[in-house]
Chains A and B, each alone.
Chain A
Amino acid sequence: MYAIAIHGGAGAMPRAALSAEREERYRHGLAAALDSGYAILERGGSSLDAVNTAVRILEDDPLFNAGHGAALTRDGAAELDAAIMDGRQLRAGAVASVRHVRNPIDLARRVMEKSRHVLLVGAGAEEFALEEHFALVPNHYFRTAERLAQLEREQRGERVSEILPASRGTVGAVALDGAGNLAAATSTGGMTNKRPGRVGDSPIIGAGTYARNGVCAVSATGHGEYFIRAVAAHHVCTAVQFRGLTLEQAVRELLGILGGMGGDGGLITVGADGTLVLEFNSGGMFRGARNSAGRREIAIY
């Protein structure tokens, strides 16, 4: 059994906010990421490569809040966070607050594989990128006209990020490969109009991203501060590991806890047996799931 799930952010998402044409573009973007990740699993590749690839594709797609097309800070710049975790040996790598790295998920992977650290932030993370021969890009590479307009409306006092699809949230992927290894990856531009230096749950191992072989892999999206305080991703895995909850029960419990705190968002998870659970307590979540038993779906609401 092998399986993969991806998400492209959760939010209020009133149906009227998304035209049929735009919805089609989102579905197309999700399908491209899902199928590219799945293809890696299908040819015997690792879950780590699968989640890395799926997230890189979503980072490159300007529709989603990560990499090119990320949400902008109050200064109009993109500041990106990403994390990846290998469930095999609980290895992890993460970067936060980077401004010139085209694919933050690739840099997070490099932190995991080539440094003795787990988390690098800001200019220091970019210095590491240069040491590892990443080509840096100017910050305007990430900025799209749509995100600028969104920022301007937000700064005029409109709460657009609560209306527009994929304006908050993140992108992410979780996978189980044929060898039984679990992996998770998450990447984001954070919240529109955020303060420079603000870091959400995505790059925090245990909050927005977590994977442990034999238990589960989780990637979260939503109001990051709540996911940090709830230690969301790890909560789900400890509930499965220590208390014998099913993955679905664990995810529902966590969403209940977040809801009680006033937080909203969603999670995608895969269990050690390939069970896929994609849940959210917001209006919608861009998501996709595919497994070797023939399931394939793309959904928004």
Chain B
Amino acid sequence: MSRLITAVLACWLAGAMPVLAAGPHPIALAIHGGAGVMDRAKMTAEREAAYRAGLTAALHAGYAILERGGTSLDAVAAVVRTLEDDPLFNAGRGAVLDARGDAELDAAIMDGNGPRAGAVAAVRHVKNPIELARLVMDKSPWVLLVGDGAEEFALEQGVVLVSPDYFRTERRIEELHQVQREHAAAAPSPLPKGTVGAVAVDRDGNLAAATSTGGLTNKHLGRVGDTPLIGAGTYANNESCAVSGTGTGEYFIRGVVAYDVCALVHYRHLPLAQAVHAVIFDKLQHAAADTGGLIAMDRDGNIVMEFNTPGMLRAAHDLHGRETVAIFRDDK
């Protein structure tokens, strides 16, 4: 008994959350594929089915890892990698294109245990930016590497670079041309803009978050949004929560949104849903309409997926084993 008390105490002293209940922590996973002004009337059944299939595949890829005792870090990385590889989503292949017609990619990953973090921004030749972010976290003393320097690091780590053509899809090229004709970057898109991301808790009770994106269509060369900025678009801390955001990045940066949610949970002891509501509706929607959404998970594994846009592509496998895939607000 005294040994147990010592162990719990040592755990507490080390700053880790003591898991008092015997047995593994319940596992949970939530993912998103971007929030935006999605018009249900314009969404064909076929397209909707494709999104749902993409989300489901990513959810299963991540959940399988948690289920066999893997880490939340591996799970969120697997989810995001799957969504990066799927051309429907704005990350990796099929990312939106910048003003010059190239994809410039940003990604971040954060381990709530530590906490540790890695991120890359403005990379143009890295097939899976989330994996490079992970390497920055695991294999470098840095947190954020950008541009050519990030790609140099990728090469040093044995990552094979790809041609910018790999990322470009017909749909994104058309979308860019349409936006450039209309001189309006905010033109409604049939495809979700936003980002892709995931949050998870594993059997050891560790939280993790990961986010990846191509940013905004027709963006200025070198523009970096909230995704790779720790505290803005991505945050995880075992003492509070894990968050991955999606939306108009500039508002998320200025509001330090992801950290804000966790600070409300940690220091004001708000339930996760209230904290997310305060940030998404009171703070972000006050700043501008249709700013975006986020997925969040507290240390018990409770999931909140909220947005102030008409839709957010999202899916979850919750603590009770229930699986959901949804797009619009009234989707169950």
Contacts and interface: CB of A to CB of B under 8 A. Distances in A.
Contact of A206 (B144, B259, B264, B287): B259
Given A117-B250, A124-B220, A196-B152, A228 B143 contact: yes
A298 interface: no
Given A122-B222, A195-B142, A231-B259, 9 more contacts: A91-B254, A117-B220, A117-B223, A119-B225, A120-B223, A122-B146, A197-B145, A204-B230, A206-B259
B268 A121 contact: no
Contacts of B141: 225
A214 B314 CA distance: 36
B256 A199 contact: no
B220 A115 contact: yes
Given A90-B255, A97-B147, A196-B149, A122 B122 contact: yes
Nearest to A116: B250
Nearest to A261: B114
Interface of A: 79, 85, 90-92, 96-97, 115-128, 194-200, 204-207, 210, 224-225, 228-229, 231, 234-235, 238-239, 242-243, 260
A195 B149 contact: yes
B219 interface: yes
Interface residues of B, number: 47
B153 interface: yes
B175 interface: no
B145 A199 contact: yes
Given A196-B152, A205-B253, A117 B147 contact: no
Nearest to A95: B222
A242 B121 CA distance: 31
Contacts of B149: 79, 97, 195-198
B150 interface: yes
A197 B145 CA distance: 5
B30 interface: no
Interface of B: 15, 104, 114-117, 121-122, 140-150, 152-153, 185, 219-225, 229-232, 235, 249-250, 253-256, 259-260, 263-264, 267-268, 287
What does DSSP make chain B's interface, helix, strand, loop or mixed?
A: mixed
Contacts of B153: 195, 197
A205 B229 contact: yes
B267 A239 contact: yes
Which of A115, A126, A228, A235 has the most chain B CB within a 10 Å cutoff? A228
A115 B249 CA distance: 14
Contacts of A200: 144
A122 B115 CA distance: 28
B219 A195 contact: no
B222 A120 contact: yes
20 contacts: A117-B223, A118-B249, A118-B250, A119-B229, A121-B146, A122-B147, A122-B222, A123-B147, A123-B221, A124-B221, A125-B222, A200-B144, A210-B256, A225-B142, A228-B230, A229-B230, A231-B235, A235-B263, A242-B268, A243-B267
Nearest to A197: B149
Contacts of A120: 220, 222-224
B264 A231 contact: no
B150 A234 contact: no
A199 B222 CA distance: 14
Contacts of B230: 204, 207, 228-229, 231
Contacts of A117: 219-220, 223-224, 250
A242 B264 contact: yes
Nearest to B248: A116
A164 B169 CA distance: 51
Contacts of A125: 222
Contacts of A260: 15
A121 B140 CA distance: 20
A204 B268 contact: no
A74 B287 CA distance: 41
A234 B254 CA distance: 10
A199 B231 contact: no
